[in-house]
Amino acid sequence: MTIVKDQVLSNAGAYGVTPAVYDGLGNVVITGSHLRSEFGAYLRVVGATPLAKNIDLRGKLELFSNYTKNPQNVDLNAELKFMFKVNSWFAASLQWATIYDDDIRITDANGTIGPRLQFMSIIGLGITYKMTNFKD
């Protein structure tokens, strides 16, 4: 299920909900839907493994096929994350994610609207501190 609480986003049809219907003057005749539900098969595979003493790898793959609309079009959500322990104070991570959903329409640079493969990259740096003075 997808829930879009913001009326502006639901009127625009964001996240695959049914958009609003407008009259010839641009007035909203029927407001956009706040809820979108799908029925289908879902598969999730998660894995983690240490690559070296201070490097861990985690991965996730999620696949979904909507039985009620285009079951041959499988939605994809995949993540790959490397976690590095630099020393006792610092940690770092590299993360890549890929998403494809046939129902989500994206406008490209040429103005063409349709489903697209989406990518995201994240670099993270952090400070770690153990609170060893506290006892249960």
Residue type, 121: S
Please tell me the predicted confidence (pLDDT) of residue 117. 87
pLDDT given for residue 76 in this prediction: 94
Q: For residues 31 and 8, what is the distance between their CA atoms, to the nearest angstrom?
A: 9
Compute the distance between CA of residue 3 and CA of residue 33 in angstroms, rounded to an integer.
9
pLDDT tens digit string along 24-54? 888 889 999 999 888 999 999 999 999 999 9
Helices (H), 21-69: none
| Contact between 2 and 16 (Cβ < 8 Å) | yes
The residue that leads in pLDDT, 2 or 47, is 47
Whole-prediction pTM value? 0.70
Pick left, alpha or beta for residue 45 (phi over 0 → left; psi -120 to 50 → alpha; otherwise beta).
Answer: beta
Checking if the pLDDT of 134 tops 70, the result is: no
Sign of torsion over alpha carbons 10, 12, 17, 20: positive
- Are 77 and 99 contacting, i.e. CB atoms less than 8 angstroms apart? yes
Residue 86: the pLDDT is: 84
pLDDT at 133 over 70: no
Q: Which of 37, 21, 105 is nearest to 69 (CA)?
A: 37
Task: Give the per-residue pLDDT at 78.
Answer: 97
> Domain spans of the chain?
1-37, 39-136
Tens of pLDDT, residue by residue over 91-104, are: 999 999 999 988 77
Transcribe 70-112 into DSSP letters.
-TTSEEEEEEEEEEEE-SSSEEEEEEEEEEE-TT--EE-TTS-
What digits encode the pLDDT tens for the residues 52-104?
Answer: 999 999 999 999 998 988 888 899 999 999 999 888 888 999 999 999 988 77
